[in-house]
Amino acid sequence: MSAPSNDELKTLLLDHYHCTFFLPLIGLPDEFKPEATRKTYPAGSASSECDAQAFHFFTPILRNILFDRGTEDTEHSPQTLTPMREWYLPQEVIQPWRMTLHKADGDKDVTPLTQQTALFQSVQLFRYFNGIYVLAFTVTPEVLPPLQERVKQKRNELAEAEKQIPVEERKPAWELDKEADATVSLFAGSIQKLADVSPYDPDRDVYPKLQLEAWLRFSRLGRQLYRSFTEQGDESKIAKLCLNSVTGETLKTAFDESMKKLEMPEHPGKDLSPIIIFLLQQFFKPQAAALETWLKQNIALYDDRMFISVAYGLAGKQHTDETLHKINTLAGFTDRVADCWVEDYPYTAEVTDRYLQGKCFDLWKAVGSNYFYTDRVNAYVSNGGFFRRSIATCHIPHLYNRMLVQALFYQASLRHYDHKMIETTLTLLKDQDKIKLIKEQLEAFIRFTNQYWFPELTDQMQGKEIFRLQQQGLNLQVHYERIKEKISRTDEYLNAQREAHSSDLSNALSQLSTKLTHWGAAFALGALYLAVLPVLNDMVKDFNTPSLSLWQWGAKHLHEGGMTLLVALPLVALISWAWIKRPKP
């Protein structure tokens, strides 16, 4: 069977979609303290089943680091590892919010393919031991939860009915799931695309809002943090994004029509999406104004788009390999069908295959599941009830995304220490007495790599492989090698400085030693003279008659030798002057 045309591909339906957006915050000052609800996982707490499963999924010795158990390290001891902290906005706060991606300037009409509305499932803020934060928020199509709720209610009714019959006559869980799914044709497995929907289907008006192309568009354009190139508007690659309340009130708007012209910003965050600023402010409400100022003036951005983790549940039966190849390519590139132009791909098939090579987790490829891990996205593409009920709703947000947050902290930390090393090097080159700064920076980096960088978080086979791919996709090894090379060059520079200092010190000591040698000879002659004086005194007594001491004899002859001294003194002075002025080593 040949692959569908691009027009057919656009009408394929999803029975599940959620997208989590991630934004690391590097360098947020310590005076900013989150005021939102802190999430902890103490022993015996009434956590959700997915949370409990996630806790047991990870290696036992790392659980108290990956999950905040509610304890506090009041002494801030380097020997005590600080767990990842987590805050969240309550459901009553985010439940009324809607995010609408409007049609782009290049789109003619408002249709389900040109405008999407999503509701918020969660808004979280994570903090690493070194003060780096990661904002994470998850959205899903507004029309999807009501369909899921109908299936859930039917499943609960079936489960209650089963309790009324003998255990040996009860149906297996998978059969109850299948029966509950049948209440919504999208989940029953009978439709793949819009053309398969019956004109009598009660949900026929809802399904156009769940087309694959619509949410490929949302994944691509919803990531935007600020405008970055002029052609975005011309190519419909940027569109107005609104944060609304369920009543229709507009809370924040980004990338509206008044922002067409690109300008040179005064500060790095001047054009940062107001929606992102608003979400972050909800965690720092008492400091909301100060936070906005810091974000606009000092935020360190390494990309114009956010990293995403996105799940696409393909409706109906498993698609052909040709169809899946196209869908997987679009998901892995965060592109959409509208971006295809070369051989019906966003780029040539050769280029796309080369880019995605080695970045796919295809353990369940035989059943149509492929997961991709690149430098911009973790994309999960699959179909079927198990993916929709378990993988997408529990495993991805609670297991794989927690691993991703850890990997994003690794990446952000490497960037943080790299930037700090640049600053410290500039300081060191200006003032070599600031070597203590380098020492402190290296100590912080060593603490990060030796105490908080865990290459494996779980012993589970799929978890180990997924985390390896997540780290590989973020190019962590490249970042690490770059810093290691800088450390090596810094060490070479410091060694050269130490050798030069040692050489200067050696020369100074040598000169001091030479001077001390001359002074030592003079002192030795003086000591010898003092030692010989008594002997000379006795010799003079024996030589003179009557017996006179050395001093008496000298006084007697002083007058007689006066004339002799007048003659000899200039000669002695000349010899002394010549000795003092002799060439020094």
Residue 442 and residue 354 share a domain: yes
Residue 543 and residue 416 share a domain: no
Whether the predicted pLDDT of 143 surpasses 80: yes
- Could you tell me which residue, 422 or 561, shows the higher pLDDT? 422
Percent of the chain whose pLDDT exceeds 70: 80
Residue type, 156: N
Q: Which pLDDT tens digit goes with each residue over 22-40?
A: 999 999 999 999 999 999 9
Whether the predicted pLDDT of 2 surpasses 50: yes
Using 50, 70 and 90 to split pLDDT, how confident is the model at 509? low
- The answer to the question of residue 417 being in a domain is yes
Q: Which of 429, 458, 474 is the last residue of a domain?
A: 474
Residue 402 and residue 528 share a domain: no
Residue 292 and residue 226 share a domain: yes
- The answer to the question of residue 90 being in a domain is yes
Q: What is the pLDDT averaged over residues 556-563?
A: 55
**What pLDDT does residue 268 have?**
81
Among 74-78, 109-113, 176-180, 491-495, name the one with the lowest average pLDDT: 74-78
Q: Does residue 582 sit in helix, strand or coil?
A: coil
Residue 11 and residue 88 share a domain: yes
Residue 72 and residue 137 share a domain: yes
Number of domains in the chain: 2
Residue 516 and residue 453 share a domain: no
* β-pairing verdict for 360-361 and 307-314: unpaired
Percent of the chain whose pLDDT exceeds 90: 62
Residue 521 and residue 466 share a domain: no
Using 50, 70 and 90 to split pLDDT, how confident is the model at 131? very high
Domain range for 555:
506-580
Residue 513 and residue 385 share a domain: no
- The answer to the question of residue 63 being in a domain is yes
Q: Which pLDDT tens digit goes with each residue over 402-456?
A: 999 999 999 999 999 998 888 887 777 677 666 778 888 888 899 999 999 999 9
CA distance 357 to 174: 35
Q: Which pLDDT tens digit goes with each residue over 283-306?
A: 999 999 999 999 999 998 899 999
Residue 547 and residue 431 share a domain: no
The answer to whether residues 273 and 226 touch, using CB atoms and an 8 Å cutoff, is yes
Whether the predicted pLDDT of 585 surpasses 50: no
Whether the predicted pLDDT of 46 surpasses 70: no
Most confident of 72-81, 100-109, 469-478: 469-478
Using 50, 70 and 90 to split pLDDT, how confident is the model at 514? low
Q: What is the pLDDT averaged over residues 244-262?
A: 82
CA distance 159 to 501: 81
Q: What is the mean pLDDT of the chain?
A: 86
Using 50, 70 and 90 to split pLDDT, how confident is the model at 579? low
CA distance 21 to 134: 10
In the chain, what's the furthest Cα-to-Cα distance?
154
Q: Given CA atoms 352, 357, 360, 363 in this order, what sign does their dihedral have?
A: positive
- The answer to the question of residue 495 being in a domain is no
Whether the predicted pLDDT of 106 surpasses 90: no
Residue 530 and residue 459 share a domain: no
**What pLDDT does residue 1 have?**
53
**What pLDDT does residue 267 have?**
83
Whether the predicted pLDDT of 583 surpasses 60: no
Residue 114 and residue 30 share a domain: yes
**What pLDDT does residue 538 have?**
59
CA distance 136 to 307: 10
The answer to whether residues 389 and 302 touch, using CB atoms and an 8 Å cutoff, is no
- The answer to the question of residue 179 being in a domain is no
Among 333-347, 349-363, 378-392, name the one with the lowest average pLDDT: 333-347
CA distance 78 to 80: 5
Residues 6+ apart with CB under 8 A from 203: 147, 184, 185, 186
CA distance 209 to 117: 9
Q: Which pLDDT tens digit goes with each residue over 162-218?
A: 999 998 889 999 999 999 999 999 999 999 999 999 999 999 999 999 999 999 999
